[in-house]
Structure 1
């Protein structure tokens, strides 16, 4: 039995979601500029963290491409093919076989994998344990597999309403679930590791330095997780809100989550003092001093996710 689809018509949803995405994209552009400034201000070229700078630029390019394609698609559905597409604008925006939809789905997958991968990598940098990272890595691989099948199955779907009942819907559900859990689980591991580090640092000043780190990680995780959870709820209710969140709003949210982690930690002096203390020596649970290079720790704490997340 086919489920009853609720929510606004897809042409109206396309207009609303493109406007909301434009607002979030503008905010992400400002945060991208702030991120680049933190990379380059009073620093020599060789001192710039190039891998993380590359991730920031890549996320910006992906979200920009996504925004441009959304505008093109909106113009095609409401102007160019308004009177020629069978079924009108509503049918146009329900046809996932269009090239613009396929490209957007591929961009969504690429950005999600990049953001979730950064979260998992940052967690590994802090834990330095391959055994701890087995489950997060498996979950990331599940995101890649489910995302790949999602893109493929959606490219064969000519009616968006059928997504809630056919095989593509199962892949969409699995994809959202795994990216949600990957981001949440990796963030929890990271926060727990930071908390255990704090217990082994006796100075009051460095204990205060832990709070901004935990706070920014929690904020980024909540932001991305809330977006994914909203998509899951809308999908479970067969509501077109899934279309708005999944196709339009997730991309700028991923970028914003990445930028907010880097900027908020980079500008906090107590956090820098804390990182300096940790970089000299960290007492592990076994009581063995574990030395971390300063650059490595700053790389770990300044990266995002988003996911993962912390996209």
Structure 2
């Protein structure tokens, strides 16, 4: 099914020559850097959420929901890096040196199971919020959310199946790439990639990869909706910048595509059975949190022009919101939906 080791080494010699010990140490370093960036983005997002909570009382319901999701992500990311450190200490300090590779290669240790569970739950939480955002952007249209809900349920089933397979496996490194484990892991990644992309609408990238193609198709939904509203805003306010498709693409791609591309890299490394997959696996929880926080910072800082935060443009934002709600909520302005609508527009 896959090319030989010689062929694979030709394309990625560094990743293919990594052993499990070196990969684990590199993964811990990279994860620590990303965790620090995530914490910085988290506190910055909390500051902006608090400022909006204090100044705009009609947005408090949405603010609390977003803050709850953010805090949940930080807790799960902290559990993930804590389990990684536990695994490293167990392998390099607490057991004899000749058992280091065995500990790092096992997929049924408590540390490995906690780490896997934290990432998968965090992914489900993030995708769940993306579905909620899709629901709000499309004027509380439940039908548009059905495909994402189905794939979200499939991802949950894959999570349970993957963790069960970990416990039931032989526990050695080869078990990670066994057919049964590969089926669950690949299913989870593809399903969450579809869910995230379908609900994000961030990608305008055309590629031959089947994963990238799926991303482009499903992410077009919200992007089209956002562009439509921006064109309506342009007509009402006569602002030539508002209907700029390139601006929409830049805003949306900044957040949504980061995680999608990371997933594609992760599944590619997994399919070629590279130890580099451990590095990407440690990065994913923090990439999710950083991408999510960047959306909030952009919206709260006023870079995303659809949320009324800046006094200098308050009147303009109010007009934009009126346009959005006239077309998506049948003229009934709902304060909580206003912020989430803007959040969906980045």
Separation in structure 1 between the aligned mates of residue 51 and residue 271 of structure 2, nearest angstrom? 47
State yes or no: 1:12 paired with 2:25.
no
| Unpaired segments ≥5 residues, structure 2 | 6-15, 201-218, 309-315
Go from structure 1 to structure 2 and tell me whether the alpha carbon gap of 1:112 and 1:33 turns closer, same or farther (over 3 Å shift). same
List per-residue Cα deviations over 1:27-81 (Å, max 9, x = no partner). 0110011011001137439934211111111111111121122112111111111
Q: Is the 8 A contact 1:213 1:271 kept in 2?
A: no
Separation in structure 2 between the aligned mates of residue 152 and residue 46 of structure 1, nearest angstrom? 46
Q: Is the 8 A contact 1:126 1:297 kept in 2?
A: no
* Partner residue, 1:262: 296
- Using the TM superposition, give the Cα deviation of residue 173 of structure 1 relative to its aligned residue in structure 2, in angstroms: 0.6
Q: Is the 8 A contact 2:2 2:272 kept in 1?
A: no
* Partner residue, 1:251: 285
Go from structure 1 to structure 2 and tell me whether the alpha carbon gap of 1:208 and 1:45 turns closer, same or farther (over 3 Å shift). closer
Go from structure 1 to structure 2 and tell me whether the alpha carbon gap of 1:205 and 1:233 turns closer, same or farther (over 3 Å shift). same
* Partner residue, 1:309: none
The total of aligned residue pairs comes to: 299
* Partner residue, 2:227: 195
Instruction: Give runs of aligned pairs for residues 273-292 of structure 1, distance below 5 A.
Output: 276-282=318-324, 284=327, 290-292=331-333
Go from structure 1 to structure 2 and tell me whether the alpha carbon gap of 1:298 and 1:257 turns closer, same or farther (over 3 Å shift). same
State yes or no: 1:172 paired with 2:213.
no
Alignment partner of 1:37 out of 36, 47, 50: 47
* Partner residue, 2:144: 132
Separation in structure 2 between the aligned mates of residue 137 and residue 275 of structure 1, nearest angstrom? 32
TM-score of the pair, normalised by structure 2? 0.78
* Partner residue, 1:102: 113
Alignment partner of 1:146 out of 154, 158, 161: 158
Q: Give the secondary-structure state (helix, strand or coil) at the position aligned to 2:175.
A: helix
Q: Relative contact order (C-alpha < 8 Å, sep 6+): which is higher?
A: 1
TM-score of the pair, normalised by structure 1? 0.87
- Using the TM superposition, give the Cα deviation of residue 159 of structure 1 relative to its aligned residue in structure 2, in angstroms: 1.7
* Root mean square deviation, CA, Å: 2.8
* Partner residue, 1:163: 176
Name whichever of 22-31 and 150-159 sits farther off: 150-159
Q: Give the secondary-structure state (helix, strand or coil) at the position aligned to 1:185.
A: helix
List per-residue Cα deviations over 1:69-123 (Å, max 9, x = no partner). 211211111111133xxx5211111111100111111111110000011111101
Q: Is the 8 A contact 2:230 2:242 kept in 1?
A: no
| Unpaired segments ≥5 residues, structure 1 | 306-311
Alignment partner of 2:65 out of 51, 56, 64: 51
Go from structure 1 to structure 2 and tell me whether the alpha carbon gap of 1:46 and 1:62 turns closer, same or farther (over 3 Å shift). farther
